[in-house]
Structure 1
């Protein structure tokens, strides 16, 4: 993976140029590296859709932000004319431009984007922490889709960054949460955040959840791991009329126990990206300290060390890696 300086695009009408402070790397970026998104990605690609920064300049007609404002970006650019958009589901646009995947992202010093995707942060918000807004918005959307309520018992299959964030948002909503994971390092990280954990490599997941729920099963199961075994396990863990939320990106079709779905009248939901209310919620959760941002940020590396950061993410030794795009990026 090479790093090079790009010539910045001056903001045209309705555009905002951002001095990028931090860019987070995530599992979706690894899917791109592995070639699972080759049908969408133009190479070479400028990665990056989790970010924070400061407005450097604005084009004519921009009214919502000004130079110097601290901002993040909700990286969804929809056409507004397709059936999904017309039905009010713009985040599921049939022709969605997911910035950082379908078009150049934030792993560059100066980044020019449409005004409508820019989200102003509260004055004094930590840019370091604000680089987590996008994945927190994913978690906020997933939990909102589940319609869980206080007192529900929730199982999260997968203890990576998104799994931990879902667990955190669900716990904040009053749920009792158990996180299932196979990697011992991640299990330790999740336990350190105060969650009940289940070692899926050593324990019978169904038996443990059955005992924990007094035989009923979980109210909500979030499948975040992307593993075929977890998809099969999810239907065995949910209670009668329980809910399964599919969060992970599955690059190929997976077997699903439809007999369980039928027998227990289970509800299976997809949860893809987020809406603006989820993004606003994520900003507030971070500002209020609900999200343990510092504990989740494993390391911050300079732009030149991006390849090393990807390697650590691939190895599963990191929870969240940030790239400091600017030398001496502000906090």
Structure 2
């Protein structure tokens, strides 16, 4: 079978490998599609070299069907449509014992810390499977994982119907957060520098703002009657966005840090103090977030066709990263099974 691996030094290699049979407690998935995301870009850039073991078969946003079932696995059958919640926790650390297994202190993020879905046949623990409803397109279903991220972010913010939410950064996760927040009843403004992305986001009937053209603080204050936003989601990963986020939130507002920041950032703690702001981290997701994400994809709430810029064969994975780096795509899926 073909696999795509990160070998270090910004190198992606596609090569043949022998599939292995699923161990007891595992299932083997015939992977259909794998989405490439910002975390994969961090791996490609070498920002996670201290964490990953190379060569690494990466990828964790995926869809597929069960190809084989290992010994002791019940409730699953060959042909079932699935996606994977790619988290394996130890169950014994203080975080797990406190009920926060999804951010286990010894978490195995599958596709980063262990082999991922850019391979035709992928063996995973059965407990990571999430069932797909019949009729859901497998290319759309490859978006369930990032949708679960957005659902978790919105829930982490405790966003309420009627709240105002600013999303800083209109990439795939930013668009998904905006979509989920609106679905949960919020009024949303997306701040995005790229003109093409703003046009796409406006096509989904979201208000957008180019912060180079208009003062973002003035716009948000006008929009909220001088109060500031209930919630600000920092999704861009830019230092300037972090510095500016505190100026957009209302008194006792909430800032949710979604983006991965590989280096420490400056933040206006005077503003945090003055307005009694809450700053929250939002890392991955819980099982209920995945289940909600499946429903949102299946019900057509998620603008999957807008988000998926194109689908490429596994052999073109390296070229896909070049396009993502250059901002030439919103979301690229890899056709692992060779369906297109």
Scaled to the shorter chain, the TM-score interval is over 0.9
Number of residues of Structure 1 aligned to a counterpart in Structure 2: 329
Hey, what's the Cα distance between the residues in 1 that align with 2:212 and 2:78? 51
Q: Residue in 2 aligned with 1:107?
A: 118
Once the two structures are TM-superposed, the CA of residue 206 in structure 1 deviates from its matched residue by 0.9
Conserved 8 A contact 1:76-1:96: yes
Whether 1:276 and 2:287 are equivalent positions in the alignment is yes
2:13 is paired with a residue whose SS is coil
Once the two structures are TM-superposed, the CA of residue 179 in structure 1 deviates from its matched residue by 0.2
Q: Deviations over 1:27-67 (max 9, x none)?
A: 00001111111111111111200000000001111113110
Q: Residue in 1 aligned with 2:232?
A: 221
Hey, what's the Cα distance between the residues in 2 that align with 1:238 and 1:180? 14
- Aligned counterpart for 2:317 among listed residues 292, 306, 313: 306
Q: Residue in 1 aligned with 2:68?
A: 57
Conserved 8 A contact 1:5-1:108: no
Q: Residue in 2 aligned with 1:17?
A: 28
Q: Which runs of 5+ in 1 are unaligned?
A: none
Whether 1:179 and 2:196 are equivalent positions in the alignment is no
4+ aligned runs moved over 6 Å, structure 1: none
Once the two structures are TM-superposed, the CA of residue 214 in structure 1 deviates from its matched residue by 1.2
Q: Residue in 2 aligned with 1:5?
A: 16
Whether 1:120 and 2:131 are equivalent positions in the alignment is yes
Once the two structures are TM-superposed, the CA of residue 5 in structure 1 deviates from its matched residue by 2.0
Q: Deviations over 1:272-321 (max 9, x none)?
A: 10000000000000001110111111000111111111111111121110
- In angstroms, what is the RMSD of aligned CA positions? 0.8
Q: Which runs of 5+ in 2 are unaligned?
A: 1-11
TM-score by length of 1: 0.98
Once the two structures are TM-superposed, the CA of residue 201 in structure 1 deviates from its matched residue by 2.6
1:38 is paired with a residue whose SS is coil
Conserved 8 A contact 1:247-1:271: yes
Whether 1:73 and 2:87 are equivalent positions in the alignment is no
Hey, what's the Cα distance between the residues in 1 that align with 2:84 and 2:257? 24
Q: Residue in 2 aligned with 1:292?
A: 303
Conserved 8 A contact 1:17-1:111: yes
Whether 1:129 and 2:129 are equivalent positions in the alignment is no
Once the two structures are TM-superposed, the CA of residue 124 in structure 1 deviates from its matched residue by 2.0
Hey, what's the Cα distance between the residues in 2 that align with 1:86 and 1:64? 27
